[in-house]
């Protein structure tokens, strides 16, 4: 695990809510492609259910991070692509099961017109830094 520094309120910037403005780390950079609500066999999970989709996406992120020798403690940035911003509360609940509020990464949330398949409500990518 890398030692990370989080800056939630840089001088002259409004304090962050539900994310951290700046995360600094040293070590190896890990980029995890956007994960979709697919089970290990490639079948869609939770059609029409943002909570079920968010839980599956975070499980997929966890597995991808583990493949790189990382955990959610190493995540410095999450990017949420959602078809409706109304899905963000469900995403926050799923995120909270993996990342405590005092270790929130930097984040961006983008509403998109569509994802690669119409049943997908979200796609989430992650960036992490693991120990040198």
Task: Give per-residue pLDDT as tens, 43-94.
Answer: 999 999 999 999 999 999 999 999 999 999 999 999 999 999 999 999 999 9
Residue with tokens 């259910």: 49
- Which distant-in-sequence residues (6+ apart) come within 8 Å of 87 by Cβ? 50, 53, 54, 121, 122
* Total domain count, the chain: 1
CATH (domain of 24) = 3.30.1330.40
- Tell me how far the alpha carbon of residue 77 is from its chain's centroid: 7
Provide the token pair at 82.
Answer: 């959602």
Question: By residue range, what is the domain housing residue 34?
Answer: 4-130
Q: Say whether 98 sits in a helix, a strand or coil.
A: coil
* Residue 130 CB neighbours (<10 A): 19
- Tell me how far the alpha carbon of residue 63 is from its chain's centroid: 13
Question: What predicted TM-score, i.e. pTM, was given to this entire model?
Answer: 0.90
């Amino acid at each position: 695990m890398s030692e990370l520094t989080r800056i939630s309120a840089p001088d002259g910037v409004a304090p962050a809510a539900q994310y951290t403005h700046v995360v600094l780390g040293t070590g190896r950079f890990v980029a995890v492609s956007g994960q979709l609500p697919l089970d290990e066999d490639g079948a869609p999970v939770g059609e029409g259910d943002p909570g079920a989709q968010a839980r599956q996406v975070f499980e997929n992120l966890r597995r991808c991070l583990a493949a790189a020798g990382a955990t959610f403690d190493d995540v410095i940035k999450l990017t949420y692509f959602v078809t409706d911003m109304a899905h963000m509360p469900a995403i926050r609940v799923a995120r909270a099961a993996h990342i405590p509020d005092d270790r929130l990464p930097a984040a961006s949330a983008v509403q998109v017109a569509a994802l690669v398949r119409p049943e997908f409500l979200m796609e989430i990518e992650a960036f992490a830094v693991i120990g040198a």
